[in-house]
Structures are given as C-alpha cells and as structure tokens.
Amino acid sequence: MALASTQTVSKYIPTHWYDGWKRLRKQKTAIVGLSIILFFIVAGLLAPLLAPGHWDGQNLAVRLQPPSAQHWFGTDDLGRDLLTRVLYGARISLWVGFFAVAGSIVLGSILGLSAGYFGKWIDTLISRIFDIMLAFPSILLAIAIVTILGPSLVNALIAIAIINIPTYGRLIRSKVLSIKEEEYIAAAKVIGMGHTRIILRHILPNSVAPIIVQGTLGIATAVLEAAALGFLGLGAQPPQPEWGKMIADSRQYITTAYWTVLFPGLAIMLTVLGFNMFGDGLRDALDPKMKQ
Amino acid sequence: MLSYVARRILQLIPVLFGMSLVVFAIIHAIPGDPAMVILGERATPQALNELRERLGLNQPLYIQYWHYLLQTLGGDLGESIRTKKAIAQEIFPYLAATIELSLSALVFAAVVGVNAGIIAAWRRASWFDYIAMLVALIGVSMPVFWLGLMEQWVFAQKLALLPSIGRYNARETIHAITQFYVLDTLLEGNWAGFWDVVKHLVLPSVALGTIPMAIIARMSRSSMLEVMKADYVRTARAKGLNEFWVIYKHALKNAMAPVLTVMGLQLGTLLGGAVLTETIFGWPGIGRYINDAISFRDYPVVQSGILVVAFFFVLINLLVDILYAYIDPRIHY
Amino acid sequence: MKKIVSPILGVLLAVSLMLTGCGSQSTTSPSAPQAEKTLIEGRGGDSVSLDPANVTDGESLRVTENIFDTLVAYKPNNTEIIPSLATEWKASPDGKEWTFTLQDGVKFHDGTDFNADAVVFNFQRWMDKSNPYHTGGDFDYFQSMFGGFKGDKGCVIADVKALDKTHVQFRLTVPQAPFLANVAMTAFAMASPDAVKKYGDKFGQNPVGTGPFVFKEWKPNDSITVVKNKNFWQKGLPKLDKLIFRVIPDNTARLTALQSGELDLMDGLNPSDAATVKGNSKLQLVTRPSMNVGYLSFNTTKPPFDNVKVRQALSMAVNKKGLVDAFYNGMALPAKNALPPSVWGYNDAVKDYEYNLDAAKKLLAEAGYPNGFETDFWAMPVARQYMPQPQKIAESIQADFAKIGVKTKIVSMEWATYLKKTKNGEHPMALLGWTGDNGDPDNFLYVLLDKDNANPPAASNISLYKNDKVHELLFKAQITPDIQVRTDLYKQAQLLIHDDAPMVPLVHSTPLLASASYVKGFIAHPTGTERFTEVSIEK
C-alpha cells in the first residue's frame, strides 16, 4: 500500500520533491512553522465567523477597555474590539506578504532568466540594475517609492515587491548560469528547441526549489516591511486593521492601555516566526546544498 | 589581491552613477511643484518663475541631471530649503548620530551573538542551545519598532531604569567635537556625560541590534559546528587539551570569516534600518533627517540624504568584500 | 577558565567591560554646578527659522518670543496690550496715524542701539518687497495681517518714519481696528539692523534681538539653547540662566522624559495622560487658556456640499460631546462658532445643530440624497493643539456619517501638501483648525470665513465660503474703532455663518502642558508662545 502510493505520487511529482516532503515532515521546526502559518491563514479566512464584532465597529463608550471575557484582547481608543481587528489584520498581512513576494518572483524571474540565459550586454545591464537597487537600504528605497506613489496599502505592496526583485533575480540568474552549460541543454539547443521552450521546460523547473525556499523566507520579510510602512503611516490607511498601523495609532496609550500595542505586535511576530521556521525547514529539506 | 580590489572599485563606478540617477529621478517623480512648496501658497506666478529660474527647474531634465552630477561630484550636496544651510555641512551630525547608534548596536549584536553562538555549538543540543536558537529565531521575526516600544514601556516607563529618548540628557554639556558623543565625552574626560551618553545608547542599540544579533548567533553556531568537525580540532581534543582552549584558539579563528561578513553586511543594513529605531527613540540621526525632509518637501535634503546613506552602504559592502577576501584566502575571485 | 581569547572577541569583551566599568565609576561623579539655573522645555517639533518675521509656525515663534521684543506686548495670560519696547502710543482721531514712544537706552544683543531708526528699518524690511533685506522667507504674517506689501491694493501701512530717536510714526491707508493687537504679535519683533545686514537671508540661523535671552546654539532636530541676556532692559530679569528647547516628537515619550527628570516642562500633553500627571506629586499640570477652534470644513464650491441642506444635515451628524469625551478627556468645549468663547465678540445666542442622526437623515433626503453619497474625507496627518488626534477624530466622525448613508474615505497626506491642497480648495471636506494670534475676532472670522480669503490657491477660508453680507459685516468691523459696535457686527456675522454651515466647528480645546513642580512662575499664553522672563526653578 505504502509502496504503491509512493509510486503513484512519484509519477507526477519529481522524486526529489517527494523526498523533500519526507525530510520536511521530520523537521519539527518546519512543522511548527507550517502550523503557525495555517493558523493565521484560517484565522484570516474565517475572520467574519470567528470575530466577535465588526472590524470597524466603533463604540466610544467602551474605548480602551482592558482584556476581558467580552473583549479577549481589549478594545482600542475608538472602542473597537482588538481581537476582531487582529484577526482581520491577518488577512491584510498575509495578502500583502504573499502578493508582494509573488510580484518580486515574477519580475525577478523574468529579469534573472533573461540575464542568465542571454548573457552579454543584457546580463550586464540587468546585473548592474540589481547592483544599483541593492545599493540602497531596502526600507529607504521602499519609503522613497511610496512617497512617489502616495501612501496606501496597495502602493506599499508594490514598493515591497519592487525592492525585493534583485533577491530573486540574482538567485535565478546564478541558477541559470549553472544549468546552462549542462549537457542536456546543449542537446536541446542542438535539436533546435526554441529559447522559450528551453527556459520553460528545463531551466525554470530546476530553479523552483530555491525560489520556494527564498519565497517563504521572503514572505516573512515582506510582512515585516509592510508593518514597518504601515507604522510610518505609508502603508494601510484608516480604518483598515493593519497590524503596523494599529501599533502606530496606539503608541500613545502604551502606558495606560498596553494591550493596544502588545497584541498586534505579537501577531506580527508570530506570523513572521511561522514563515521563518517553515522557510528554514524547507531549505534543509528541499535544498540541502543551500544550507549554510 | 590588489587586482581584485581594483576590479571591485571599478565595478562600483557604474553603480554609483546609477545611484545618482535613481536619486535624481526619485525627486522628480514626487508629485508637487517644488517652487510652489518653497515659496508657500501665496506666491505670485512671477516669484515662482524667478525661483524656478534660480534653481534651474525650468531646464530640460538631462541638463538638470548634468548639473546635479557635477555639483555632487564636487562635494556640494545642495542647500536645505528649510534651514537654508549647506547640506554637506548640516548632514554630518545626523550621520554621526546614526553611525554611533549603528556601531553600538553592532557591538551589542556581536558580543551577544558570537558568544551565544559559540556556547550553543559547544553545548550542542543542550537546553542552552535550544533556548538560544529559539531566541534567535524570535529575534529575526520581531518588528523593530514594536520591540523598541516594548523596551521603552518596560525599561523606561515601568521600571524607570534607562532613558528612552534622544542621545543625551540636555543637562549635560557636551561639546560636539567629533559629533560622536561617546568619543567627545571621553576626549574631554567628562565621565558623567560619557555615562549619560552610554545610557541613552542602550535601549535603541538593543532594539536595532536584535536582528543582527540573532543572525550572528545562528551564523556563529553553524560555522562553529562545521569547524568543530574538522580534523585538527578532533586532534587537539584527542591530545587532551581543554575544550575551551580548543574552541577559542583554533576553532573560533576559522569560524570568524563568515561571521565577520555577516557583521559587515549587517552594519550596512543597520544604517538604513535605523529609520524606524530613530523614529521610536527620538534619535537625531539620518533616518529621521530624511523622514522629516520628506514631510517638509525639502527636496535637496531627501536627495542628498538618500545618496549619502546609499554611498556608505556601498562603501561598507566593498570593505566587507575586501576584508573577506583577505581573511579567507581560499576564496578566489 | 583560561584567559585565552581570540583578538576579535577580546576587543568586543574589552569594549563591553569598558562600558560597564565606566558606568559604576561615573555615577558618583558630581553633576553640573548648582549655581546655573537651566530650564529644559520639551516640544513636539523643531523650529523652522528663528527670524520671527519669516515664520508662521508655533515652534519657531515659541523660541523667538524669548529672543526678541515687540513694540507692544500681550499680558502673560491674555491678549490685553501692555507696553514693551514702546512705553506709550497714541492714535490720531481718524485712526490713520499712530505714534509710538520708545524706551531709551535699550541695546540689541550685539551691542547696537535700539531706536526709532531700527523700528523703521524692520518695517521697511518687512513691507517693501524691493528692500535688499526682504529675504529669508515670505513674510507671510506681514502680508496677512497688514493686507499685503507696499504697493499692494490692500496694504494698510502707507509709511513708517522716525520722528526723532525715540518716536516713530505710522501712517495707515485705512483705519485698522486691530492694528495695535497686530503690532503686538510675536512675528513683528524688532531685529538688530546690523545683524540683518550682516547675515542676510541667514538671519534665521543667527537671530539677534533685544529680548530676555540671547541665542547660543541650534542643534537641528535636537535642541535650541538660549542664555540669559545680562543687559536685559527689565532689570533683574530673566531669572533663568539658560533655557533649552528640546525636540521630542512623541507625546508619551516626552512625558517619560519629564518624569525621568530630563525635562522640566513639556508642551503637548496627551489629554489621556492628564491623570498620570495629576497623580504624580513631582509634576504639575498646566493648562493653556483656550483660544482656538478645530473644525470640519465643507468645500462649498463642490457638489454636494454646495447644497446648504447637505451641510446642515452633516452638521447634525457630528457627536461633538462624544469627541470631547473621547479625545480631549473633557479638556475641550464643543464648538458652535468658529470664534472661541474666550475672545470678545463671541455670540452665545447661536444655537448649535443638535446631534440627531434621524433628523440628519431626513434633511439629507430633503436635499435630494435619500441614500446618502460617497466622498473623500481629508484628515490632517499631524497633531495640533486644537486636534490632538485628527486621524482618530476622522475615523470617529466617519462612523457616524456612515449611519446616515454618507460613505467616506479618509485621505491623508503629509502636512505641507495637506495645507497646500486645502488652501487650493482641492478637498471635498477636510479637518483643520486655527489658533488665535492676537485675541481679535477679526483674526478668526475674517481669516477663516471672509470671501476675501476664499481665493485658491491661497485660501485661508478653505470652505471657500462667500457671503457678501458676512463680508460687509466683517469689513465694517475691521475699520470701526469702537469695540461695542464691532462686537455687535461680529455677533451678527456669526448668526449668518451658522445658518449657512460652511463648516462644522468641532471643539475649542484647552491645550495641556506639564512641568516639574519646582518650576515656578510659568504661565501658558493662549497664543501658544510664552516668555520665560519670570520663570524660575526653585528646588
């Protein structure tokens, strides 16, 4: 039975993937990380069912209430239930994290593949652009981009996607360079395979594992960056329940109502921790060579 | 080695050039008419034109860029719209404040990170190892601004142990000679002032240094583990030498190269990442300088501030690369 | 444990040891000599420039108030006029000629003499755009208080001349009722002509006046230090030796610094922290007499806000009492006029729109919007005295508006842009406010609601509200010297404005400050800028 299933699976999924999953299952941290991520995904998806109130349900009469049976996380300065806002906040943070990284990967892959595959001046140009982008501390670059586009959640997402392009671009480029010279690529060229087909059939699949690992860790970074922009007032706008923005708004109550700052911060930390743990585990499982 | 250094420096030229282009472009992409902002809302069209003329805002962009480039190469970073001072001169105290904070954060990160990593490796799979690595994992997952706020809440507000705002207590007279207050107070033999400055450094340094600390701890641990497997360490151990001797003398030296790199790279990140820490701790550094300039639409300051930080960032990365190549001769470029 | 440590670790350990080692040693070392009395005030932002004629922001004027003197001044706790550099003044019967008698023997900090020529020099510099020293800024306050610069149609001052060393005469084009109150404003302070000539447009970094304190040092975004003027014309004053203005942007952090003794006085206390200060025997709460208004402006040129019924309906949907309780901790009055009750001319007979969502919904339906509408709601990005948490106030009002079907999106941008765009009338509705400069109703009603000031891109009447009848009343009040008549005119204007509802006056706040209990003699001034001449530290 076990044997049979292995065979069926391996028919569709490359063997190293399946081996990876087997290794991953043994990694305690990765499983813990995955559980945390799933917890927040479920929390975000089911927020309308789980949350005791409306995320913008203001009631000035109950402002700054400490945690209680009715308000598990207390209320904020507009009398909104914090648990509700933290749950809805999971939607925002995960959404930004996922799509920002997806954006970086798509753009980074296009640039990285072109640079690595075509080489010559294309490579030089793209590599220099990456160098220049990496010459700026990322948060400063993000601030600059949001200043141009105007502060909003979507613009913060765009900024985060842009600043992380070089990370994936360089990764893919180096992968392409190492694969390009392999015999089967040369063979493919000889039999007259087009560029697109070579890239899609041979080069891209080989780059997937490191990209997934980097992407998982990248979501952690993106969530942190989005929270930072939100905190600086450059990301989500009120009344959106974004965690970083919630902390910034409640900053002044830290002495009188610590819960308004504590819980959104813990939520950020746990989410990021989840992606970091899972990412570490994935790296060990999928790509032992990357381990360092 | 020398040719490597020369090549690295040559490679920098297009990067620096591109940087200046990006910085120039950023400012011109920001919505709003600089002339209007400078003169205020009640300015007459005539006055606006005069100013545009004077600042060259009427000229084609490529000419404006060319002027900008020449000016910057000549060390002229322009004049702040808000304070009307030369930026090249005004920026230094801010830069010094940020560098001082970053270095202090790095000292914290290195002292704690390296030691924790070594002990964790030495006592692998002990409770210390588990806890240290868990703390390190949490450390890299923590939003810096939240950590800073929590520190302020606990150590400044609840326990009243440490100051949480600014670089020094304004009651202490500090004569800014180098603008690095730790140095300035030492040079003057002003011990009370020195102690005051150090106390002000603690909370922001811990906040800023936590992520690098966590990374350095993980890095030291794993490179120590690699090295400890090596033959000579085993030999040394077999000879019956004290384990501390083995670890510190032999292993540490070899494990240091990657750790140093991480430290160098983190210093660069610190310079940029200081924006959030400076906001929380009222630190008059370059991050706040730029942030304030954005809200005052002080274009030249935004431009030059970002350029200076990026320049330092590149410079540090260059030094780290060279240092790395120097320390670890196995690496050939 | 063997003491063999790698070089790097050795250095790191040495540094860490040094840090801890020095600490224990220096805690016992004596602090600064007790003789020198220093007061440190914490505030939210840095000054822009220290040239009083060229700034409009409170953080700059707060400092210049202590470096410079004006011809006449306000009393420490209200806006009554008292002598300062001028000991006497009189106006001609037609109100168009003012003569000031100056003190003799007053010297600027640079040692040069203050005299009638210096007064003329300053006024020439401000009013004449062709004057070579008309530099360093835009002289905004001069322009708005005196109707423009020399040659402009509305410019009130025809000329200024020195009669002799101690007498100076102003000729006005029209009698300006608030003229004396205007001259007393911090912005119109006497600068040393020599220093202005010497520093040119850099005078703002090198201020030289005749005031109680002499400028010493400015660390940008950190602190400004001024020291006692030993030759100050009020003998024996000031009582302090040194005054430091320190920037700490966050209100809570500033309070922490006050509690830990790094500050002696702080501006901008969060209303929610008032209880903390009251409960601490080492601190005292200081209230600033209220002379401000925070308001929600409707752009009366943009539909649907051009419809008076819509404006009235929205006026009924704002819970002012709720705002006062939640965001001001009760330290504010719900507003029904743009003019605060602390200023004469306030019309208490105006009956405010009652907070009633049903009535509001009904009126909205009458106006043709039974299902409400969607609009942007602009909120300031920064806290002001009249509005400590604009974003939160916007969110709160937003929720009430939603209940009558008006769906709003809160829009914010950085402060400079915000001011620029609202002055340009780009908003549908926007939060803003005003703190009085001189205690004259003209300074509120004419500035905020007259059609003269409703011209983009420089509208201070950001509702772009134009009512000819209101204008007639306000203009007449401006050129009438008799205060009884003026009071009556302002009261009539407030009734008309109330009916048109171009804005929702939200609150008149009482700004809070806190100081260490050993700080004596500090009185917060309603304009937001106060002198430290009489302040002392008595430990």
Bridging pattern class, strands C157-164 and C86-91 = unpaired
Q: Which residue of B has its CA nearest to A143?
A: B291
Bridging pattern class, strands C503-509 and C332-334 = antiparallel
Cα separation, C537 vs C539, whole angstroms: 6
CB nearest to C12's CB, from B107, B164, B166: B107
Neighbours of C, requiring at least 3 CB pairs below 8 Å, are A, B
Amino acid symbol at B210:
T
- Output A195 or A9, whichever has higher pLDDT: A195
CB nearest to C9's CB, from B165, B242, B252: B252
Q: Is residue A1 part of a domain?
A: no
User: In 10 A of CB C315, how many CB atoms?
Assistant: 23
Report which of C220, C244, C219, C239 is spatially closest to residue C229, judged by C-alpha positions. C239
> For residues C251 and C273, is the Cβ–Cβ distance under 8 A?
yes
- Output A289 or C173, whichever has higher pLDDT: C173
What Rg value do the Cα atoms of chain B yield, rounded?
Answer: 24
- Output C33 or C412, whichever has higher pLDDT: C412
Q: Which residue of B has its CA nearest to A149?
A: B30
DSSP class of residue C187 equals T
> For residues A69 and A133, is the Cβ–Cβ distance under 8 A?
no
Q: Is residue A26 part of a domain?
A: no
At B179, list the tokens.
Answer: 């603008």
Query: Where does chain B have alpha helices with state H?
Result: 2-29, 34-39, 45-55, 61-73, 87-122, 127-141, 144-151, 181-188, 191-229, 231-238, 243-245, 252-281, 286-295, 299-327
Query: pLDDT at residue A146 above 90?
Result: no
Q: Is residue A53 part of a domain?
A: no
User: A258 CB near a chain C CB, below 8 Å?
Assistant: no
Cα separation, A135 vs B312, whole angstroms: 9
- pLDDT band at C1, cuts 50/70/90? very low
Residue C410 and residue A237: Cβ atoms within 8 Å? Answer: yes
Kindly report the nearest CA distance between residue C270 and chain B, in angstroms.
16
What is the rounded average pLDDT of the residues B241-251?
Answer: 69
Residue C276 and residue A255: Cβ atoms within 8 Å? Answer: yes
Amino acid symbol at B141:
S
- Output C459 or B195, whichever has higher pLDDT: B195
- pLDDT band at C23, cuts 50/70/90? very low
Q: Is residue A51 part of a domain?
A: no
Tokens 């302090």 belong to residue: C240
Q: Which residue of B has its CA nearest to A224?
A: B143
- C325, C326, C334, C488 from C320: Cα distances, Å: 9, 10, 6, 27
Which tens digits make up the pLDDT trace of C313-359?
999 999 999 999 888 988 899 999 999 998 999 999 999 999 999 99
DSSP class of residue C189 equals B
- A167, B51, C233, C340 from B47: Cα distances, Å: 47, 6, 40, 36
Buried b (16+ CB within 10 A) or exposed e, C91-106: beeebbebebbbbeeb
Q: What is the pLDDT of residue A10?
A: 40
Query: pLDDT at residue A130 above 80?
Result: yes
Contacts of C381 in chain A (CB under 8 A): 233
CATH number of the domain enclosing A160? 1.10.3720.10
Q: Which residues contact B251 (CB under 8 A, 6 or more apart)?
A: B224, B227, B228, B230, B233
> For residues C237 and C521, is the Cβ–Cβ distance under 8 A?
no
Residue B114 and residue C140: Cβ atoms within 8 Å? Answer: no
Contacts of B90 in chain C (CB under 8 A): 220
Query: pLDDT at residue A119 above 60?
Result: yes
Chain A and chain B share a number of CB contacts under 8 A equal to 124
Number of domains in chain A: 1
Report which of A288, A283, A264 is spatially closest to residue A211, judged by C-alpha positions. A283
Residues in chain C: 539
Q: Is residue A164 part of a domain?
A: yes
Q: Is residue A189 part of a domain?
A: yes
Which tens digits make up the pLDDT trace of B60-83?
888 888 888 888 888 888 888 777
Which tens digits make up the pLDDT trace of C161-193?
999 999 999 999 988 888 998 999 999 999 999
Kindly report the nearest CA distance between residue A85 and chain B, in angstroms.
17
What is the rounded average pLDDT of the residues C222-244?
Answer: 92
Q: What is the DSSP string of B78-126?
A: -B-TTT-SBHHHHHHHHHHHHHHHHHHHHHHHHHHHHHHHHHHHHTTTS
At residue C47, φ and ψ (nearest 5 deg) are -70, 155
Contacts of B140 in chain A (CB under 8 A): 272, 276
Q: Is residue A15 part of a domain?
A: no
Contacts of A140 in chain B (CB under 8 A): 272, 275, 287, 290, 306, 309-310
Tokens 């586009």 belong to residue: A149
Bridging pattern class, strands C503-509 and C292-298 = antiparallel
Amino acid symbol at C263:
L
Q: Considering chain B, what is the average pLDDT of its residues? A: 82
Cα separation, C168 vs C186, whole angstroms: 19
Domain carrying residue A204: 69-287
Q: Is residue A77 part of a domain?
A: yes
Query: For B2, what's the count of Cα atoms within 13 Å in the CB-facing half-sphere?
Result: 0
Residue B111 and residue C204: Cβ atoms within 8 Å? Answer: no
Query: pLDDT at residue C474 above 80?
Result: yes
Q: Decide if the complex's ipTM is over 0.90.
A: no
* Vertex C381 angle, CA C502 and C311, to 5°: 15
DSSP class of residue C222 equals T
Put simply, whether the predicted model's pTM sits higher than 0.95 gets the answer: no
> For residues C89 and C242, is the Cβ–Cβ distance under 8 A?
no
Report which of B327, B110, A81, A176 is spatially closest to residue C9, judged by C-alpha positions. B110
Q: Strands of C503-509's sheet, edge to edge? A: C332-334, C503-509, C292-298, C429-435, C374-378, C407-411
- Which helix (H) or strand (E) segment is C391 a member of? helix C390-403
